[in-house]
Amino acid sequence: MRQSTTIEGEPGPRPANWSPAVSGIAVVAFIAVLILAWTAASTLLLIFAGILLGVFLDGLTRLLGQVSGLGRGLRLTIVSLVLGGLSLGFLAFGGATVVQQGRELGQTIATQAGSVRDRLKQYGIDLPAFSGTSETSGGQEGGTDKETKAGGLSGLASSAIKSPSSLLSDAGSMLGPAAAVITGLFSALGNVLVIVFLGLACAADPASYRQGAVRFVPPHYRPRATALLDGMGETLRHWLFGQLITMAVIFLCIWAGLSFLGIGGALILGLQAGLLAFIPTIGPLIAGVVIVLAGLASGTNAALGAFGVYLVVQCLESYGLTPFIQKRALDIPPATIFAGQLVLGVLFGLWGIALALPLMAVIKVVLAQVYIEDTLDEEAEV
């Protein structure tokens, strides 16, 4: 077998002296892993979201350990109870307000979006009608609904007598959107429970999961694999805490600014802006459109004021908070982040867009340690 020649001390990739059979098996295994990742992308991203929660809980547990000498299990229990209590308290005391403002905001957005569409139509720009805002279909749908309600039970009974197997399908068609809403709620609740369970399990004993993953690596490379996993965890912790601080500042600033201007639904507008800040580039644009449309309900001056508040907060976030907080965790150019979002969104849909930044953070650590440092034998920039 011909040996590949490399110059000692010369930076660059080192070709491995593998036999054709081993190389073929490696290629087939790599393709199989790609196919598995493609077919189970949503499940893998759900697991990754659970790992993110585990990293967050682990970071809070470590912070609590710096100020107290309690055991890890007790510290994790305290952190989990505090976060659960805060969530339940927000739902109990602020949930009704959020639901009410959310309902009013939805009606306002639909009305203002229709007004904007009509105004653009006067200038020759014809946009498609928004769902639920068409006036012409209201009467027809109303008549159809009345007929369905009048004959729904009798039709369901007769179909059950004629063909019992069609009972479930007819009941599902009669439920209509309600069944879809219920299914969606159960699906979302199931995803939340999976994420919470995985997060708690990973945070309870992260060392065992790390050691279990390292066991699949050949002994010679286990120190590098351990360092790689530790680097991923540290990067994700810094990014998560920085992102949460940024989201909280955006929520408070927009809430306070819109409340000062007297714009209705300031709480829900600030909340949605803070949550959408988790998704870079695309999230703030959506939040800005919603804020401006909500401001139009109070007049042009209010819309301009709302846009001014949003612009000031975004400048604070883009040129103040993010460069200062996220410099250590994720120093990636904006164009690269946007391109990564587009690629991950096309490949994995909404999950890919929502988890684009933490995925890119993990990819950056892998490229820095495995490719730049180990393969190219160069020092990665921090």
Q: Which pLDDT does position 160 carry in this prediction?
A: 44
Q: Which pLDDT does position 294 carry in this prediction?
A: 81
Does residue 28 form part of some domain?
no
The rounded percent of the chain whose pLDDT value lies above 70 is 73
Rounded distance, CA 211 to CA 207, Å? 6
Mean residue pLDDT of the chain comes to 76
Residue 141 has pLDDT above 70, yes or no: no
* Those residues with Cβ within 8 angstroms of residue 199's Cβ, 6 or more apart along the chain or in another chain: 50, 51, 52, 53, 54, 56, 57
Q: Confidence band (pLDDT; 50, 70, 90) for 375?
A: confident
The rounded percent of the chain whose pLDDT value lies above 90 is 9
Does residue 197 form part of some domain?
yes
- Counting the structural domains of the chain, the total is 1
Q: Which pLDDT does position 77 carry in this prediction?
A: 92
* Better-predicted residue by pLDDT, 119 or 174: 119
Q: How far is CA 56 from CA 76, 78, 200, 203, in A?
A: 11, 14, 10, 8
Q: What is the mean pLDDT of residues 346-368?
A: 85
Q: Which pLDDT does position 302 carry in this prediction?
A: 83
Segment among 23-27, 64-68, 288-292 with least mean pLDDT: 23-27
Residue 197 has pLDDT above 90, yes or no: yes
* Better-predicted residue by pLDDT, 60 or 346: 60
* Those residues with Cβ within 8 angstroms of residue 380's Cβ, 6 or more apart along the chain or in another chain: 368, 369, 372, 373
Q: Which pLDDT does position 95 carry in this prediction?
A: 60
Give 279: exposed, middle or buried? Use CB within 10 Å, 0-12, 13-18, 19+: buried
Q: Angle 87-89-91 (CA atoms, 0-180°, nearest 5)? A: 70
The closest of 47, 70, 92, 37 to 209, measured between CA atoms, is 47
Q: Which pLDDT does position 180 carry in this prediction?
A: 64
Q: What is the mean pLDDT of residues 341-349?
A: 83
DSSP 8-state secondary structure symbol assigned to residue 280: T
Does residue 35 form part of some domain?
no
* Better-predicted residue by pLDDT, 380 or 163: 380
Single pTM value for the model: 0.69
Q: Angle 80-208-71 (CA atoms, 0-180°, nearest 5)? A: 45
Tokens for 305, please give them: 């004021």
Does residue 5 form part of some domain?
no
Q: Which pLDDT does position 181 carry in this prediction?
A: 60
Does residue 69 form part of some domain?
yes
Q: What is the mean pLDDT of residues 90-94?
A: 68
Q: Which pLDDT does position 137 carry in this prediction?
A: 41
Q: Which pLDDT does position 97 carry in this prediction?
A: 62
Does residue 351 form part of some domain?
yes
Does residue 107 form part of some domain?
yes
Segment among 61-70, 106-115, 247-256 with least mean pLDDT: 106-115
Does residue 27 form part of some domain?
no
The closest of 357, 330, 369 to 226, measured between CA atoms, is 369
Tokens for 268, please give them: 């829900």
Q: What is the mean pLDDT of residues 126-147?
A: 48
Domain range enclosing 340? 41-92+99-124+177-375
Rounded distance, CA 186 to CA 232, Å? 32
Residue 90 has pLDDT above 60, yes or no: yes
Residue 179 has pLDDT above 90, yes or no: no
